[in-house]
């Protein structure tokens, strides 16, 4: 009988973790985050149920993965863990969670260059736990799995067909968040989750949107890598491919330098030249045109994406905002939805300002919701379901 599940969600600059007690429901007991990995002020912040939270400084030069495993082993709850679930950002053609075996781990190593911003750290965490606790089952929960149902035309890239055999196609990401949001829509009794047309907007440091029809993913804004799609906090979103050649010729930029540019120096940070944080930019936009343009670009691209997905779906019944920006930033939600009345999207100003669960007007044909996403809980659910099979 499973007692506790440990979930690990490794991002490009942070690692989120949580312990869930598996009983009648999954109850979070201890959770935290290792943040600003690689910088001089890397910290581990954690809190138990009902606890306000505490922080520890990670010694400079110390591996974040090893430090986290050391710390986890000191927690009494860790001794009761019977399974570990990992968010694996890139899963290629895997369409369901899988038990991590030597063969799967080798496969992940072989494709790590598909997503160098995430996979190496995720593999490092798996190996760190495996080394210390080889008998502890670990499960890979793939972020790309949700999008495996996309029609072939939505996966194709307009390059020579021979590259498809190498796995070069549109995959999509944020799948664990999207899976959670769709389950929440079912729980809320929203008929569109099973029988209608849904657009999900996961807007955070990483931002993407997904089009869903009758519960199946039909398209998404991210493609071959998580740097594509709409503009994000530090990621560029889609770019003209000619830019690679231009920067190579004019600045001698290498592939590695371009990779760093589009993942860490671009997006809101690159346009504003001051901050990657939407909250900072909204405060500055009245006095700083660069901040104002960064916010405008973010909202404009999200709006365009909603319009294109409505066209792909043949309309829209429900729009969901999630992620740190989508859940907490009323002005951004308002600006994205402004002018979309022709699609049936109408925002109630006060409900939006209050951050209510439903922010659309009574007369609007589209139900617009705000749902707090929970990737870690989705991982725990998937691990538990595997154990019960």
Catalytic residue numbers?
143
Distance CA 272, CA 293 (A): 7
Distances 282 to 114, 206, 288 between C-alpha atoms, Å? 34, 18, 10
Distance CA 98, CA 10 (A): 17
Residues 231 and 205: beta-carbon distance below 8 Å:
no
Q: Residue 30 class from Cβ within 10 Å (0-12 exposed, 13-18 middle, 19+ buried)?
A: buried
Distance CA 30, CA 37 (A): 21
Distance CA 192, CA 176 (A): 19
* Helices and strands in the chain, H and E counts: 15, 13
Residues 280 and 209: beta-carbon distance below 8 Å:
no
Q: Residue 216 class from Cβ within 10 Å (0-12 exposed, 13-18 middle, 19+ buried)?
A: middle
Beta bridge partners of 360: 347
């Amino acid at each position: 009988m499973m007692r506790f599940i440990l979930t690990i969600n490794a991002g490009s600059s942070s690692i989120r973790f949580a312990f869930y007690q598996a009983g009648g429901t999954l109850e979070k007991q201890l959770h935290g985050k290792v943040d600003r990995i690689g910088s001089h002020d890397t910290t581990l912040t954690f809190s138990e149920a009902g606890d306000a939270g505490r922080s520890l400084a990670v010694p400079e030069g110390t591996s974040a993965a090893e430090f986290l495993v050391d710390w986890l082993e000191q927690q009494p709850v860790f001794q009761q863990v019977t399974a570990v679930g990992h968010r694996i950002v890139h899963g290629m053609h895997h369409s369901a969670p899988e038990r991590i075996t030597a063969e799967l781990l080798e496969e992940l190593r072989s494709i790590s260059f598909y997503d160098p911003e995430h996979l190496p750290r995720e593999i490092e965490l798996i190996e760190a736990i495996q080394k210390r606790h080889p008998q502890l089952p670990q499960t890979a929960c793939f972020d790309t799995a949700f999008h495996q149902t996309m029609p072939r035309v939505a996966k194709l890239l307009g390059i020579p067909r021979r590259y498809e055999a190498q796995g070069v196609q549109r995959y999509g990401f944020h799948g664990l968040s999207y899976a959670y949001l769709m389950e929440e829509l079912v729980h809320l009794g929203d008929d569109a989750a099973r029988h209608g047309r849904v657009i999900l907007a996961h807007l955070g440091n990483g931002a993407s949107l997904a089009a869903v029809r009758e519960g199946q993913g039909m398209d998404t804004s991210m493609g071959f890598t998580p740097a594509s799609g709409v503009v994000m906090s530090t990621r560029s979103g889609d770019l003209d491919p000619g830019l690679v050649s231009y920067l190579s010729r004019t600045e001698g930029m290498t592939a590695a330098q371009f990779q760093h540019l589009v993942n860490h120096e671009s997006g809101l940070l690159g346009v504003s030249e001051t901050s990657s944080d939407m909250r900072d930019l909204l405060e500055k936009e009245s006095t700083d045109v660069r901040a104002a343009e960064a916010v405008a670009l973010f909202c404009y691209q999200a709006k365009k994406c909603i319009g294109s997905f409505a066209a792909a779906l043949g309309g829209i019944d429900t729009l969901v905002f999630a992620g740190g920006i989508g859940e907490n930033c009323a002005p951004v939600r308002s600006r994205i939805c402004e002018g979309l009345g022709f699609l049936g999207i109408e925002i109630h100003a006060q409900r939006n300002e209050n951050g209510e669960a439903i922010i659309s007007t009574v007369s609007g044909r589209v139900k617009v919701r705000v749902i707090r996403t929970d990737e870690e809980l989705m991982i725990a659910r998937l691990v538990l379901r595997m154990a019960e099979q």
